[in-house]
Chains A and B, each alone.
Chain A
Amino acid sequence: MNDQTKIDQDRAERTEKLQGMGCKRKRVEDIRFTQGKGSYVDDLKLPGMLFGDFVRSPHAHARIKSIDTSRAKALPGVIAVLTAADLKPLGLHYMPTLAGDVQAVLAEEKVLFQNQEVAFVIAEDRYIASDATELVDVEYEALPCIVDPFKSMLPDAPILREDIQDKMTGAHGPRKHPNHIFEWMIGDKEATDAVFANADVTIKEMLVDHRTHPSPLETCQSVASFDKVKGELTLWGTFQAPHVIRTVVSLISGLPEHKIHVIAPDIGGGFGNKVGAYAGYVCSVVGSIVLGVPVKWVEDRMENLSTTSFARDYHMTTELAATKEGKIQAMRVHVLADHGAFDACADPSKWPAGFMNICTGSYDIPVAHLAVDGVYTNKASGGVAYRCSFRVTEAVFAIERAVEVLAQKLGMDAAELRIKNFIKAEQFPYQSALGWEYDSGDYHTAMKKAMDTIGYKELREEQAKKREAFKRGETRELMGIGISFFTEIVGAGPAKNCDILGIAMFDSAEIRIHPTGSVIARMGTKSQGQGHETTYAQIIATEIGIPADDIMIEEGNTDTAPYGLGTYGSRSTPVAGAATAVAARKIKAKAQMIAAHMLEVHEGDLEWDVDRFRVKGLPEKFKTMKEIAWAAYNSPPPNMEPGLEAVNYYEPPNMTYPFGAYFCVMDIDVDTGVAKTRRFYALDDCGTRINPMIIEGQVHGGLTEAFACAMGQEIRYDEQGNVMGASFMDFFLPTAVETPNWETDHTVTPSPHHPIGAKGVGESPHVGGVPCFSNAVNDAYAFLGAGHIQMPHDAWRLWKVGEKLGLHASA
């Protein structure tokens, strides 16, 4: 073995020991999760703790004539029953939403959706509380309700929000109707209209991204404990954004922020459901403040599905204009957004329709115009980003379905049409027609790799044969090939355009090296299963040369963690991950000074080598990070502060733009409408890959949720506003049996502005997956002249498509 090989081998061994970026480090949190030793909100048991439960409205829209709590209060074990009348003097019967609206905590004069919170019973145990909810007598006068958002703004529509009836200007400008929330527009309307007026080919389709729910396995819950003597409130809860919750609690309760301790322990999935503030949190807090003992609130499954934040419900009239050769010239979109009874979207404050304006997708579309109207209906409120950045799934669904519709009209292959219109690698950074600057991308390379790997040409040939066989009556199966090429926008975001309630959307990391060279680091984000304890440690390990196993990551305690805006919209890696790298680099810079002092050389004479600084040209003269850590506490250079720690609040200069190429092959039994996914291939480009195994896990999970949304998951209402199927019997949560096999792949185009080039990946598979499944279904029926088929594509709906096309006669 020559010297160089030896050196290389030694370096490789030390690198491997670090378990830093790029390695498939096992998830450290799984040690406790797989042993049932996680610690969730519902695991918390405090002395004297009481339990709350809600009385909920059976009506979608009704006036409350009276509420009589006397029978409930008389039940032994019941301590208190709160109604709006109790909260009103405290100014807490309404709470502000993240979208600039207010939302009823407990309904005062009217209920506006089925299962809305009407009273909060507090009792000695969960069972008594539940019993007592049946003893609260509420007299309702039912009112006509609005379920269809297209009927919200009719002249004779019942007025839903009497509390803001006279406010004809909302948080996002003028309102056109008492049931109108906002109109939001972006792009060049005149130029867009002009292109459409003269285009060779145009398409127009109403694309519905239907209402569904993020449905994390752990529902929303909180425990509030108010110490009357100290005047301090501790609030444990399922919070994706604990620091923001603390600020909100301070603003609405009047308690000073430093006397509020918000703690998010282990969280069993969030997917956007746990970003907002809910009546249950407020009622547990009020209950504890009034009674001086801890109050726990735990949502059950039906409450979760039917009350706390839904997702989607976007009705998108989508138009494309193109040349007859297939060059897209313009895009025009109008969205009717059903926000339910209150505008409780969880978007950055200036973005009432989130980042819907990413809807020009991966294509170089010169002009575009987007208009969004938000309306109230008698349904649960929300509109959260379900495993996606704000409205990005909706946007990608619109463009990725629309290009397929266009391809069909042009008689062009859908992959070819995409390739023809892709933004080229040399066009980055790319200014989109609707205002974004895409940081980086190489779409052609990714698409080619995907098509070659899946064998696209052969699949189309097979499909052509199958279609002939179907026409001849030799098979009752239809084969569909779905494509989606998505571009996401994640990592909110730059202060100039992203804030929540006025707080810029930075994020943070604080890293402390202990004297013996182990580390604790805290971030302003909050993992709900993403594996932050594993991946942040990998970033630090690579940056400062301390093994990941010696680094503890802590999030969720607002007393100890630096302020951050939380985890959603794939922002943890792009923002807090960047803060982590920057803070680590600060430490490394100080370590270099200490090492220079120890080695009695000039700083510039040192070079970094995996886990140590060594003297250039004298590799045997070095100091490891562990040695430097000890020196930082034991013998720092003169005039230098002892200790080794750093904090960074990172304000990203831009968003990141992950992208990917997905393909799906599906076989549909026309007689039952049952669709089987034969193959699903997902190529993701999330820039630098911190942990390929975690990426793969995130992709699997996101695709599974995409599969669910496209193929059956929905929150449906009947005409009376009754919520249908709000339990796991009906709400489609696929098990391992239904879930297709996932083939994953990648390209790597690092983000040019991110310290480690990472872009975020947790949501890409969801965003890209939904249109891919829907395109596969649509493609299966396209040759029969089906037209656009709306989601969800569950069996009975596909059977109906076959029925309409007359495919069943020969069964």
Chain B
Amino acid sequence: MIPGTFDYYRPQTVDDAVGLLSKLGEEASVLAGGHSLIPLMKTRFASPHHLVDLSGIGDLKGISVEGDDIVIGAMTTQFELIASEELERHIPIIAETSRLIADPQIRYKGTFGGNVANGDPGNDMPAVMMCLGASYSVSGPDGNRDIAARDFYQGAYFTALEHGEILTAVRIPIPAPGHGSAYEKLKRKVGDYATAAAAVVITMAGGTCTSASIGLTNVSETPLWASDAAALLVGSSLDKASVDAAVAAAEAITNPASDMRGPAEYRTKMAGIMVRRALERAKSRAKG
């Protein structure tokens, strides 16, 4: 529980941060809220020699509506997501998910950007971002680029982010007014990562499902976007047969690890139950 030695930097601009990361090389890590990285350092699963803390960069904070999108700065804390009226109005699933992350102390420090950039399949926001079709704005030594959340996650702690790149913001298309959403998370206790969790966003018209998107947390090496499962729902009334089929399709793409939360078979089944329950709740919230 004692980290190794490291140097600490606190740049004031994104450019400086990017410059530092290039200069310091592979042994440097970005530090945001520290609530994923520091535990890894304390157990010495990570031993970066340099930490580049982004908390001095004011530009990386904030939540704003830009046209049909909401843009969230990477250094916005998980607590600020809960407190935001804009988000509550337009994309309530984000605050709902935040409330299920860790505990209040951690949410005051832990950032939205850190949560999505971390690459731990246990993080809750990535599946929600995949579900919502978000895209990540990234700055690096070669300039800026955007990466779709659905293309971002490649393996446990392995993402499309190149070394030296910083996630600056996340752009989320605002779902249609009247949409219904829910995040269902099964966990052992407060502060626990999901045994399994599911994010669901649907729209309904005249009792028929007109669009559906499903994300799954912690039931594979990466968060999952269950596109086949969602497709089975579109055009249905979310009747039992369609839901059963979607649940089965969602379960089919899981590949969880057996751990202290339970054996793989259990976690797969729980992913299914979370999808089922999230669908029920999203349906009850959807207008139309």
Contacts and interface: CB of A to CB of B under 8 A. Distances in A.
A552 B273 CA distance: 58
Given A712-B188, A732-B188, A735-B190, A799 B262 contact: yes
Contact of B2 (A126, A716, A738): A126
Interface in B1-47: 1-5, 43-44
B1 A301 contact: yes
Interface stretch (A55-63, A275-283, A723-731): A723-731
A799 B190 contact: no
A141 interface: no
A55 to B, nearest CB: 13
A715 to B, nearest CB: 11
A130 interface: yes
Interface string B188-217: 111111010000000000000000000000
B97 to A, nearest CB: 17
Contact of B1 (A134, A300, A673, A795): A300
A131 interface: yes
A129 B4 CA distance: 10
Contacts of B1: 300-302
A553 interface: no
B234 interface: no
Contacts of A738: 189-190
Contacts of A725: 260
Nearest to A303: B1
Interface string A651-677: 000000000000000000001111000
Contacts of B261: 796
Interface string A697-734: 00000000000000010001000000011000110101
Contacts of B189: 732, 734-735, 737-738
A300 B186 contact: no
Contacts of A129: 2
A627 interface: no
Contacts of B72: none
B190 A724 contact: no
A50 to B, nearest CB: 15
B108 interface: no
Contacts of B191: 735
Interface string A729-753: 1101011011000000000000000
A795 B186 contact: yes
B262 A672 contact: no
Interface stretch (B110-118, B146-154, B263-271): B263-271
A799 B260 contact: no
A359 to B, nearest CB: 31
Q: Is the interface of B mostly helix, strand, loop or mixed?
A: loop
Contacts of A130: 2, 4
A127 B2 contact: yes
Contacts of A674: 186
Contacts of B269: 799, 808
Contacts of A131: 4-5
A671 B272 CA distance: 10
B190 A796 contact: no
A724 B2 contact: no
A672 B186 contact: yes
A800 interface: yes
Contacts of B259: 730
Given A796-B266, A799-B266, A672 B190 contact: no
A253 to B, nearest CB: 28
A127 B44 CA distance: 12
Given A730-B260, A796-B261, A671 B266 contact: no
Nearest to A724: B260
Interface in B154-194: 186, 188-193
Interface in B41-88: 43-44
B2 A796 contact: no
B156 to A, nearest CB: 16
Interface string A119-163: 000000011011100100000000000000000000000000000
A279 B260 CA distance: 29
A799 B47 CA distance: 39
Nearest to B44: A134
Contact of B188 (A134, A300, A301, A794): A794
Contacts of B195: 795-796
Contacts of A300: 1-2
A197 interface: no
A737 B188 contact: no
A811 B248 CA distance: 12
Contacts of A724: 260
A811 B273 contact: yes
Nearest to A808: B269
Contact of B273 (A301, A671, A737): A671
A53 B44 CA distance: 15
Nearest to B191: A735
Contacts of A796: 195, 261-263, 266
Contacts of B190: 735, 737-738
Nearest to A131: B4
A712 B266 CA distance: 16
A716 B260 contact: yes
A147 B155 CA distance: 33
Nearest to B270: A672
A673 B43 CA distance: 31
Contacts of A672: 186, 270, 273
Which of A126, A673, A796 is most buried by chain B, counting CB atoms within 10 A of its CB? A796
Most chain A CB within 10 A, of B5, B186, B260, is at: B260
B2 A800 contact: no
Nearest to A739: B189
Contacts of A732: 188-189
Nearest to A733: B189
Contacts of A737: 189-190
Contacts of B44: 134
Contact of A795 (B4, B5, B188): B188
Per CB-CB distance, the 5 closest pairs between chain A and chain B, nearest first, are A796-B262, A300-B1, A130-B2, A730-B260, A725-B260
28 contacts: A53-B2, A127-B3, A127-B4, A130-B2, A131-B4, A131-B5, A302-B1, A671-B273, A672-B270, A672-B273, A712-B188, A725-B260, A729-B193, A730-B259, A730-B260, A732-B188, A732-B189, A734-B189, A735-B190, A737-B190, A738-B189, A795-B186, A795-B262, A796-B195, A796-B262, A796-B266, A799-B270, A800-B266
Given A725-B260, A732-B188, 10 more contacts: A126-B2, A134-B44, A672-B273, A729-B193, A730-B260, A795-B195, A796-B261, A796-B262, A799-B262, A799-B266
Interface of A: 53, 126-127, 129-131, 134, 300-302, 671-674, 712, 716, 724-725, 729-730, 732, 734-735, 737-738, 794-796, 799-800, 808, 811
